[in-house]
Amino acid sequence: MTAVTQLRGSRELLSNLTMREVRGKYKRTALGQLWSLINPLAMMLIYTAVFGQVLKIQVPPGHPSGLKVFALWLICALLPWNFLNSAISGGMGALVGNANLIKKTYFPREVLVAATVFSWDITLLTEMGVLALVLVAFGGMPLPWLPLVVVFIALLTLFALGLGLALSVANVYFRDTQHFVGILMQLWFYATPIVYPITYVHDKAQHLKARGWDIHLEFIYRLNPMERFTAVFRNLMYDNRWPTLGDSLYCVGAAVISVAVGYWLFMRFEGRMAEEL
């Protein structure tokens, strides 16, 4: 039975668990779901102050939108990154956090990870909708591109789901996984052009090449799938143009490979999961 077939057969359970995750995120908080907007807004203000004002990071104007607002340029990539970070962290802990449920009855355990990842889709879609309205207020035209934004959100979701499946089962057998991943996510954040443009990497690569260091820095850097995803979301939301074919195909490939490998690893080590929990 394939992963798609199992998820389809458990769609009611998946839906219920997803809504449980959505309702439980900000349970008993005064502002509730408003935190899904306040958190990225706070991060945007902090990064804008540090990188836009103190360090004076220069970003290219949107082409053809003409926008040149560091905060908007930043958040077009920051929102997808926040989704990935939250989906991976939540998916990784989904099995351990539901140990009692897993021990009581059998059901496709991957549904727990999928529900956690999908719950963050609702947050991301809401944030992207609000961002689109803000971009319009500043003179951008992201609305015609929103259907493509949804397509790439779906691809990013598959990418995150694959990583979540692999890390969730790793966390069952090796509980230090969550701590290592926390450190790696910080490194991954700064290895992705979120708070600085990729032109900085290009300039550094040219500088090293001029000094005889022919290490293909830019090529290695662009192997990072999140570099491609951030480029695509900025093209659609900030620039208001088609993403490049290369970036688009890379995102598709990264999503397919991630979910295929993640599901294979999950099924490979699922057998003794209840015992380990």
Beta carbons within 8 Å of 5's beta carbon, 6+ residues apart:
none
Q: Which domain holds residue 98?
A: 3-276
Say what the pLDDT of residue 72 is.
92
- For 254, other C-beta atoms within 10 Å of its C-beta total 21
Alpha-carbon gap, residue 108 to 275, rounded angstroms: 16
Say what the pLDDT of residue 230 is.
96
Per-residue H/E/C for the chain? CCHHHHHHHCHHHHHHHHHHHHHHHCCCCCCHHHHHHHHHHHHHHHHHHHHHHHCCCCCCCCCCCCCCCHHHHHHHHHHHHHHHHHHHHHHHCHHHHCHHHHHHCCCCCHHHHHHHHHHHHHHHHHHHHHHHHHHHHCCCCCHHHHHHHHHHHHHHHHHHHHHHHHHHHHHHHCCCHHHHHHHHHHHHHHCCCCCCCCHHHHHHHHHHHHCCCCCCHHHHHCCCHHHHHHHHHHHHHHHCCCCCHHHHHHHHHHHHHHHHHHHHHHHHCCCCHHHHC
Say what the pLDDT of residue 1 is.
45
Residue type, 108: P
pTM: 0.91
Say what the pLDDT of residue 78 is.
94
Alpha-carbon gap, residue 189 to 221, rounded angstroms: 13
Alpha-carbon gap, residue 96 to 85, rounded angstroms: 18
Say what the pLDDT of residue 40 is.
75
pLDDT in tens, 220-268: 999 999 999 999 999 999 999 999 999 999 999 999 999 999 999 999 8
Helices 110-137, 245-268: inter-axial angle, 10-degree rounding: 160
Number of domains in the chain: 1
Instruction: Per residue of the chain (277 residues), give pLDDT as tens.
Output: 455 566 666 777 888 888 887 777 766 666 666 776 777 778 778 888 887 778 788 888 999 999 999 999 999 999 999 999 999 999 999 988 888 888 777 778 899 999 999 999 998 998 899 899 999 999 999 999 999 999 999 999 999 999 999 999 999 998 889 899 999 999 999 999 999 999 888 877 777 777 777 677 788 999 999 999 999 999 999 999 999 999 999 999 999 999 999 999 999 888 777 666 6
Of 251, 65, 213, 34, nearest to 127 by C-alpha is 34
Per residue in 6-16, is it b (16+ CB within 10 Å) or e — as a string?
beeebeeebee
Tokens (6 digits) for 72: 């908007």
Say what the pLDDT of residue 121 is.
94
> What is the sign, positive or negative, of the torsion defined by CA atoms of 82, 137, 143, 252?
negative
Say what the pLDDT of residue 216 is.
79
